[in-house]
Amino acid sequence: MFKKIAVAIAFSPRQQALIAEARRLQHRFDAQMVFIHVGERTADKERQLQAYLSEAGFGTEQVSVFWEEGDAVKLILSVCRKQQIDLLVAGALQKENIFRYYIGSIARKILRKANCPVLVLTEPSMNPLPYQNIAIHAGDRAEAVNAIQSGCMLGQLEQSRQIHIIKELKMYGLTMALAGEDPEHEYSEARRSLVQEEIATVQEVINRCPECRGLRINIKIAAGKSGYELAKFARSAEADLLVMEAPKHSMNIFDRIFPHDLEYILADLPTNLLLVPGD
């Protein structure tokens, strides 16, 4: 699934835990490892990074380290592109103001511009565990195949005990269904019908997805503000990973007026986030 993994190094207080998480992922996927630091290269940083890598169990022959100076977003994405990275890993704190302080606006730009999946860890651990409770956002599109396939493939590899697929109920569909009718009389029936349609849509994707076979999958239909409901569900289900498809790289005026679900999630990260490229 991920054969070449890159880790963004910031020498933060949690950097050692982030490298421990990277070591677990390297074991899981038998992946080559690339570490990227954008900033001044000093002897102290080199010693510190080598100590972290050694403590995590990385041998010098198992990793490549890139030291860069300049525009962090451009350089990190450039290394990922040239090295054909399959997964970029970075750390983040749970509150947006701290998250922005930690890696500034770099995080949002990388999440929007990366051509590879990006894994953002909210609380990296020195003793990391497999993801056992994965939530997958199927969005409000007819299908979110990439998110479902990626989340379920990871679930297979991690032997996850539960997968949740969250689909948004199209409220405009409910409004149209009630046009010209008595809302009090028709609302419940129309809502039930739309919920069943959305469940059937997700089930069709599951049935066509080999990665979904054998997994315990719960389909959740959510109404209301999608990003808010998604974060709320991830917390209530105690998900340890949320999988979403990335928004389009180019935004129009409506994207700026009506933020993508990702913006709601970044405002208050409910758990670890895996962002995968869309169709």
Instruction: Give the pLDDT of residue 226.
Output: 72
Output the pLDDT for position 96: 44
For residue 113, what are the contacts with CB-CB under 8 A and spacing of at least 6? 73, 77, 249
The full set of domains in the chain, from first to last, is: 4-121 (3.40.50.620), 133-276 (3.40.50.620)
Q: What is the pLDDT of residue 103?
A: 38
Integer Cα distance of 279 and 273 in angstroms = 19
Q: What is the dihedral of CA 235, 236, 241, 245, to 10 degrees?
A: -80
pLDDT value of residue 17: 95
Q: What are phi and psi of 56, to 5 degrees?
A: -75, -15
pLDDT, position 82: 96
E strand or H helix at 218: strand 217-222
Query: pLDDT means per 10 residues in the chain (279 residues)?
Result: 94 92 95 96 96 92 93 94 96 52 60 90 93 90 80 96 89 53 64 85 92 95 80 93 80 48 74 87
**Residues 233-250: b if buried by 16+ CB within 10 A, e if exposed:** bbeebebbbbbbbbbeee
